[in-house]
Amino acid sequence: MKITVNEKSYNIEKVLTLLDALYKIKSTQDSNLTYDAGCRSGVCGCCSVKVNGKEQLACEYEPQDGDKIEPIKYYPIKKDLLVDKSSGYNLISKERAYLKLYQESTLEKTDESKTQIQTDCILCSSCYSACPVLEVDKNFLGPFALTRAYRYTADRRVANEKEIVDNIQKSAIWDCTLCGECTLACPMGIDPKADILQLRNLSAKHGYMDPNLSNMGFGGGFGFDPNGGF
Ligand code: SF4
Ligand code: SF4
Ligand code: FES
């Protein structure tokens, strides 16, 4: 079976996962081949790559003959499939989407279920790589950072909800096209698009509105002239 890594072809025997294939290639054919890996079991999020244009975890994907492997998008490439994800991790601190101010609160089972799936995020950046908005706006916070923002605003123990909401207005929730590519790309079954919709609702409760609507004249009385004959 033949797979291609960044235009370079390798013949390999059938193996269970793409990560096994990369290890095999490195040990027998190309010691310079560089990629990232850690847990080998879908937990650490290190090994995300693009296979035939779609984001996959190399340790979970079963390689097929003819597969084309590339690094995930929007991060500086260090070498081959290895990218520098630090700019993505910095996005989380940019929106202050972490427990900064704590308030005492008793959690019910329903509170847990509100944030359970988002808590499973392994920061693999597959959703980030799949997002078309980043193609045109490098400052866009992107799906996993916004899922993290939702996770903390939905937690009753977090007292800095307003601060998080304030920080996701610009180049963030209102710039998402709701295409759902992030949701399709996530190996953990997280739905960043739904989380962004939740954050839009929460923002409205804090008095924010979609700036695209206000630019179209929907901000003050829906643009109607009150003396216009109605
Ligand atoms: S739904 Fe929004 S965040 Fe997700 S990929 Fe589409 S534009 Fe990006
Ligand atoms: S939301 Fe899903 S795809 Fe995005 S970083 Fe987290 S685990 Fe990866
Ligand atoms: S090596 Fe950890 S998720 Fe693949």
d(CA 41, CA 16) in angstroms, rounded, equals: 12
Tokens, residue 173: 């929730």
Q: Are 84 and 76 in contact (CB under 8 A)?
A: yes
What integer pLDDT is reported at residue 37 of this predicted model? 97
User: Which residue has its alpha carbon closest to ligand 2 atom 8?
Assistant: 124
Q: Where are the beta strands (DSSP E) in the chain?
A: 2-5, 8-11, 48-51, 54-57, 68-70, 77-79, 82-83
pLDDT in single tens digits along all 230 residues of the chain:
999 999 999 999 999 999 999 999 999 999 999 999 999 999 999 999 999 999 999 999 999 999 999 999 999 999 999 999 998 888 877 766 666 667 777 778 887 788 889 999 999 999 999 999 999 999 999 999 999 999 999 988 888 889 999 999 999 999 999 999 999 999 999 999 999 999 999 999 999 999 888 766 654 444 444 333 33
Helix or strand run (H / E) with residue 194: helix 192-205
d(CA 220, CA 15) in angstroms, rounded, equals: 62
d(CA 210, CA 204) in angstroms, rounded, equals: 9
What integer pLDDT is reported at residue 223 of this predicted model? 41
User: Which residue has its alpha carbon closest to ligand 2 atom 6?
Assistant: 121
Q: Please tell me if the CB atom of residue 42 comes closer than 6 angstroms to any atom of ligand 1.
A: no
What integer pLDDT is reported at residue 226 of this predicted model? 36
Q: Please tell me if the CB atom of residue 121 comes closer than 6 angstroms to any atom of ligand 2.
A: yes
Query: The domain at 86-215 falls in which architecture?
Result: Orthogonal Bundle (1.10)
Q: Please tell me if the CB atom of residue 168 comes closer than 6 angstroms to any atom of ligand 2.
A: no
d(CA 91, CA 140) in angstroms, rounded, equals: 9
Distance from the CA of 221 to the center of ligand 2, in angstroms? 40
∠ Cα 12 17 23 (to 5°):
60
Q: Which residue has the tokens 């019910």?
A: 108
Q: Where are the domains of the chain?
A: 2-83, 86-215
Ligand 3 is surrounded, with C-beta below 6 A, by: 37-40, 42-47, 57, 59
Q: Which residue has the tokens 């939905």?
A: 154
- Which CATH number is associated with domain 2-83? 3.10.20.30
Q: Please tell me if the CB atom of residue 185 comes closer than 6 angstroms to any atom of ligand 1.
A: no
User: Which residue has its alpha carbon closest to ligand 1 atom 5?
Assistant: 131
The pTM assigned to this predicted structure is: 0.89
